[in-house]
Amino acid sequence: MKTVMVTGATSGIGKACALAFAKAGYRVIITGRRAGLLQELSDWIRGECGPDRVYTLVFDVCDRKGAEEAVSGLPEEWKMIDVLVNNAGLALGLDKEYEGDYQDWDTMIDTNIKGLLTMTRTIVPGMVERNHGHVINIGSVAGDAAYANGNVYCATKAAVKSITDGLRIDVAHTALRVTLVKPGLVETNFSKVRFHGDEKRADNVYKGIKPLTGEDIAEVVVYAAQSPAHVQIAEILVLATHQANGSVIVRE
């Protein structure tokens, strides 16, 4: 039975990926900052898929030492990770660059870029040693081109694309596969977090269009992971039907 680690599994795309992999027969290591939400997810997987199918690690990917200690503390039977889904990430604020909040910038850079690098540096050496593994990074359509007031968030997701492409080059001599999944408009807690809890403003993001769901993206992630060993799905862009790119959205 293969083992997958999903970061940022407390909600949204991460939670949907954890559930989808569990249903597909994988053992799932779920990670995140909010212990209560991880416990709820763990309880569901244990109840539906079996008590030996989930392991919980509570840490923040921004805390490099904490992340490394959590992973090194895994029981031996959980240490051979076949798939790493680097999902943990967020957007904060929607301000012009010259009016942006320094703390929002730091949090996005520390989570979206440094956190992803920390998990990659922590997990991938074992994959290379075993000559087996798959890294799936959750990027964004925002990484393809900047949109109005998205400046720093777009920059972090552009970095995710470059980091993913670079890793694919670095492991090309091995049997490892590296995939970038770039969602468009997905209705999760994403906008609520971006607007610091302003639910009305967050709801307006999805008005007039049927957005993607976390489950839609999870289906794509599992598809990439289950492709034949000689098939490497390098990059997938997933958009809502009435979304053309990061900034062109046709609403009713």
Residues annotated as catalytic (active site), given as ranges: 153
Q: Which two tokens stand for residue 156?
A: 């972090």
Q: Which two tokens stand for residue 237?
A: 């862009």
- Phi/psi at 171 (5° precision): -110, 15
Judged by DSSP in three states, 54 sits in strand
Let me know: does 16 contact 217? Beta carbons within 8 Å: yes
Spatial CB neighbours of 69, under 8 Å, sequence gap ≥ 6? 59
What does the alpha-carbon distance between residue 154 and residue 129 come to, in Å, rounded to a whole number? 34
What does the alpha-carbon distance between residue 207 and residue 170 come to, in Å, rounded to a whole number? 42
Let me know: does 4 contact 27? Beta carbons within 8 Å: yes
Q: DSSP character for 137?
A: E
Half-sphere exposure of 51 toward its Cβ, with a 13 Å CA cutoff?
0
Spatial CB neighbours of 131, under 8 Å, sequence gap ≥ 6? 174, 175, 176
How many residues in the chain? 252
